[in-house]
A and B are shown apart, each in its own frame.
Chain A
């Protein structure tokens, strides 16, 4: 009996502690383990402008992560006083963390305004956008589907379930299997906005996969499969489908003829400090834009002959 009493006491005590600490736990538990690092990461101002020192923490989009990591390595080689850590977690995580000040840079596949809506719109306004690269997305199918090109309307009909067999669009007699992304995915948002022009609902029996590698594997193996992938993932195991007769190539994206592409954003909360700014400037130098960016299959933001704003309006540069 006495034993039980002390347990109740302990429980009551700990819940009080937990409750009083909840203000902090909100931040702590949502950060994928990188929180402690972020707390100590306020970059130290260097006295002279020449040699930088400090640390940068970036998190967010896994699609952008390899590029930032690669650029960070060469940046750290040139500036030995700077330490840069790049984490994944997804675009939503990156945007949340940068607007809460847990990280210095939030990487995102989409404009912050598209994720931070309604009550959070003010947070998006405080973020400063740095567009470092462009990723184009192509519709792809299983090689046996026998279709080279699809119009916008055909794609819409396929992804809304009106067309269910490849023979209806001039292919082989094979049922269409949609390999989609989850509805929260940035890749899907881009594909829907610029290839379909409309949001689609999930169809019964469709498949949703998160990682591009799995999507590619499934499209290559599943008869009649259709999906969409970034250009850097295209190869012979899957068939690239032309969009309205336009081939999804880097040249066509740069010239603005192929519309299904999105910026890769690196957001800072307000104007960046010296070290972060130096790194972001470095991301936009020709060395990175024509080196790492191209090497990893992205399209340099600097090469684009057109630009696009949040609403999707495209203008010639």
Chain B
């Protein structure tokens, strides 16, 4: 009798183990299948134009003329690629100092009520849908820029401003986590040596946590690079490399959302849009690699 129940117990235990294992492997496998097939799909569509020779790779990457419906169509995507980088870098330049200061404020200056008040407010920003950002940008930022600067208000500056608000929460939360995980004794020894709070922050805390903070910045840039709707509403979408920050420009995402629905599958224009999607994906991959590298540096 006792032997039998013992055996049953072990069996149940084993079955649980097996079920858990199968379920886990199934989920992981499904995930891998999804990712691999997605990469394959975008790559096969994105490379179709280059393989069939309808568009040459160098014309696509470095051509500045985008005229897909002209009698002699040309598919230069440089305006979109440069627009994406310009907007992303500017947004990161605007958002990083703000986020790092907010993170310092929450963790170093007033860790008590500062964190309690500021953190939910900043996290709220990440929950706002991007169409709301776009509409606020169109109704507030664009008229403001139009009245203050030459030009029509729309353009890279408006796009970067909208994006910088959108990526604030990403950078802030990563930076705040990094600052909070800094060993207390580093700060204490700095204070013990007679350093002021500012000296401690600028010479000890920030240099030590910089790789982790940069991780946040890169994650924020990845988000900015992929954001479509809000940018599309305020940037103007002219397929040109802009001559000023207040002139209509385009990003990879904005031209994809603008044209994808109007094109038929398999047409050269449609495939060119897929090529841009591929560029976007490769860039995301680069961002991920960057984060990995920064994380590794952070450990040393």
On A, residues with C-beta under 8 Å from B are 10-11, 13-15, 17-19, 21-22, 25-26, 29-30, 62, 88-93, 95-96, 100, 115-117, 119-120, 177, 182-186, 189, 199, 201-210, 214, 217-218, 221-222
Whether A199 contacts B44 in the complex (CB less than 8 A), given A119-B266, A120-B264, A184-B263, comes out as no
How many inter-chain residue pairs (CB < 8 Å) link A and B? 134
Interface segment, one of B65-73, B93-101, B217-225: B65-73
Q: Lowest 3 CB-CB distances: which A-B pairs, in order?
A: A90-B261, A184-B262, A208-B237
**CA distance in complex: A112, B41 (Å):** 26
Docked complex Cα distance between A11 and B259 (Å): 34
Q: What's the nearest-Cβ distance from chain A to residue B245, in Å?
A: 13
| B143: interface (CB < 8 Å) | yes
Instruction: Count chain B residues whose beta carbon lies closer than 8 angstroms to a beta carbon of A.
Output: 47
Cβ-neighbour of A199 out of B69, B255, B259 (below 8 A)? B69
What residues of chain B lie closer than 8 Å to A116, measured between beta carbons? Answer: 264
Contact of A182 with B258 in the complex, beta carbons under 8 Å: yes
Task: Check: B32 CB closer than 8 A to any chain A CB.
Answer: yes
**Nearest residue in A to B153 (C-beta to C-beta)?**
A222
Is A199 a contact of B263 with CB atoms below 8 Å?
A: no
How many Å from the CB of B242 to the closest CB on chain A? 8
The answer to whether residues A210 and B258 also contact, given A203-B238, A222-B146, A222-B152 and a CB cut-off of 8 A, is yes
B248 CB–A CB distance under 8 Å: yes
Q: How far is the CA of A292 from the CA of B263 in the complex (A)?
A: 28
With A22-B44, A96-B264 in contact, is A217–B36 under 8 Å at CB? no
**CB of A272, distance to nearest CB on chain B (Å):** 21
Is the pair B36, A207 in contact by a Cβ cutoff of 8 Å? no
Judge whether B237 and A209 touch: CB under 8 Å: yes
How many Å lie between the Cα of A65 and that of B247 in the bound state? 33
From B260, which residue of chain A is reached at the shortest CB distance?
A: A90
**A62–B38 CA distance with the chains assembled, in angstroms:** 27
In chain B, positions 262-296 with a C-beta closer than 8 Å to chain A are 262-267, 269-270
- Where the two chains meet, the residues of B that have a C-beta atom closer than 8 Å to any C-beta of A are 28-29, 32-33, 36-38, 40-41, 44, 66-71, 138, 143, 146, 152-154, 232-233, 236-240, 243, 247-248, 250, 255, 257-267, 269-270
Q: Which of A21, A186, A202 touches B37 (beta carbons < 8 Å)? A: A21
Of B152, B236, B238, B262, the contact of A185 (CB 8 Å cutoff): B262
Write the nearest CB–CB distance from B48 to chain A, whole angstroms.
Answer: 11
Chain B, Cβ-Cβ closest to A60 = B261
19 further A-B contacts with Cβ under 8 Å, apart from A15-B36, A89-B261, are A14-B36, A18-B33, A18-B40, A25-B37, A29-B41, A90-B260, A92-B262, A92-B264, A92-B265, A93-B260, A93-B264, A95-B264, A96-B264, A120-B267, A184-B269, A206-B236, A207-B237, A207-B248, A210-B232
Q: How far is B270's CA from A135's CA once the two chains are assembled, in angstroms?
A: 26
A204 in complex: contacting residue of B40, B69, B138, B247, CB < 8 Å = B247
Complex: chain A residue closest to B65, CB-CB: A201
20 intermolecular pairs with C-beta atoms under 8 Å apart? A11-B32, A13-B29, A18-B40, A29-B38, A90-B263, A92-B263, A92-B264, A115-B263, A115-B267, A119-B266, A120-B266, A182-B258, A182-B262, A184-B68, A185-B262, A207-B152, A207-B248, A208-B237, A208-B239, A214-B233
Check if B262 sits within 8 Å of A90, measured CB to CB: yes
Cα A202 to Cα B80 in complex, Å, equals 14
Expressed in whole angstroms, the Cα–Cα distance for A90 and B256 within the complex equals 13
Check A207–B33 contact: CB distance below 8 A: no
Contact B270 A92 (CB under 8 A): yes
Q: How far is the CB of A100 from chain B (nearest CB, A)?
A: 8
User: A21: which B residues are within 8 A, CB to CB?
Assistant: 37
A18 with B138: CB separation less than 8 A = no
- Give the distance to chain B from A137, nearest Cβ to Cβ, in Å: 16
Q: In the complex, which of the residues A15, A18, A201 has the most CB atoms of chain B within 10 Å of its own CB atom?
A: A18
Do A115 and B36 touch across chains, with their CB atoms under 8 A apart? no
Known: A25-B41, A207-B154. A202 touches B264 (CB 8 A): no
In the bound complex, CA of A117 to CA of B68 (Å): 13
